[in-house]
A and B are shown apart, each in its own frame.
Chain A
Amino acid sequence: MVYTTDGLIERSRLQVKDVVRDDHGSRAIATEWYLDGRLVRRDVTVSILNPASVN
């Protein structure tokens, strides 16, 4: 079961798509969950690639 905007939905009913985006010194991986073509959940993981530095 996966928590969505429609409540808990069986995993097998959902279509999943990963979207990878490199931007602004970062990498983002978004996992989008669709129910009958409608977005019902979106998770995002961001990795910061550029540190804040003083040299």
Chain B
Amino acid sequence: MAANTQGLANSFKAEVLQAVHNLGVAVTRVTSAADTIKAALYTQNQSIGPATTAYTSAGEVAGTNYSAGGNTVANAVAPTTAGGATAYWTPSGNITWSTVTLATLFDTVLLYNASQGNRAIGAFTFGSQTVTAGNFTLTTPVNGPTTALIQLG
């Protein structure tokens, strides 16, 4: 016999990522299109992390062919649960800075929403790197419930 169970609706998790629900002060949106998501790089020993609420230029890398604010992230695949219990989203393409020179060690990328006041989405760290007259590429993981870059389980 079936039983009732308590829990957040799986569909709600994906819908949170799609701004379907508003449980607080309404955010005014001028378009129904997906927001513009950007990625910015930060030098090591900064304070970028879960407590970061928005993009900041403080501590951002600087160098040849790097523009402050970073690069726009490909966002062609909407968040989904695919029928499961975890909502997930991953940029739909790698994030690449081409022919850059970033001479100061950097170790963090901040994803943020350029359409909503540059609010932070998440910080991701990696072993510190420099780039010399070359390309820096962040490869995105497989967009699945256990592998996606962002997961709401």
Instruction: Show the binding face of A for B, using Cβ within 8 Å.
Output: 3-5, 21-26, 28, 30-31, 33, 39-55
Q: Answer whether A48 and B126 are a contact pair too, CB < 8 Å, given A5-B133, A40-B133, A43-B136.
A: yes
| Chain B residues with CB below 8 A from A54, complex form | 151-153
Least CB distance from B107 to A in Å reads: 7
Is the pair A21, B151 in contact by a Cβ cutoff of 8 Å? no
| Chain A residues with CB below 8 A from B148, complex form | 51
Secondary structure of the B contact surface, majority rule: strand
| Chain B residues with CB below 8 A from A28, complex form | 126-127, 129
Some 13 contacts from A to B, beta carbons below 8 A apart, are A26-B127, A28-B127, A28-B129, A41-B132, A42-B133, A44-B131, A45-B138, A46-B126, A48-B140, A48-B149, A52-B150, A53-B152, A54-B151
Instruction: Show the binding face of B for A, using Cβ within 8 Å.
Output: 99, 101, 107, 122, 124-127, 129-141, 147-153
Least CB distance from B142 to A in Å reads: 11
Whole-angstrom CA separation of A14 from B134 in the bound complex: 14
Least CB distance from B121 to A in Å reads: 8
Is the pair A42, B126 in contact by a Cβ cutoff of 8 Å? no
Whole-angstrom CA separation of A24 from B151 in the bound complex: 19
Q: Answer whether A53 and B151 are a contact pair too, CB < 8 Å, given A23-B127, A24-B126, A25-B125.
A: yes
Is the pair A21, B127 in contact by a Cβ cutoff of 8 Å? yes
Whole-angstrom CA separation of A40 from B101 in the bound complex: 11
Whole-angstrom CA separation of A26 from B136 in the bound complex: 14
Is the pair B124, A48 in contact by a Cβ cutoff of 8 Å? yes
Is the pair B150, A41 in contact by a Cβ cutoff of 8 Å? no
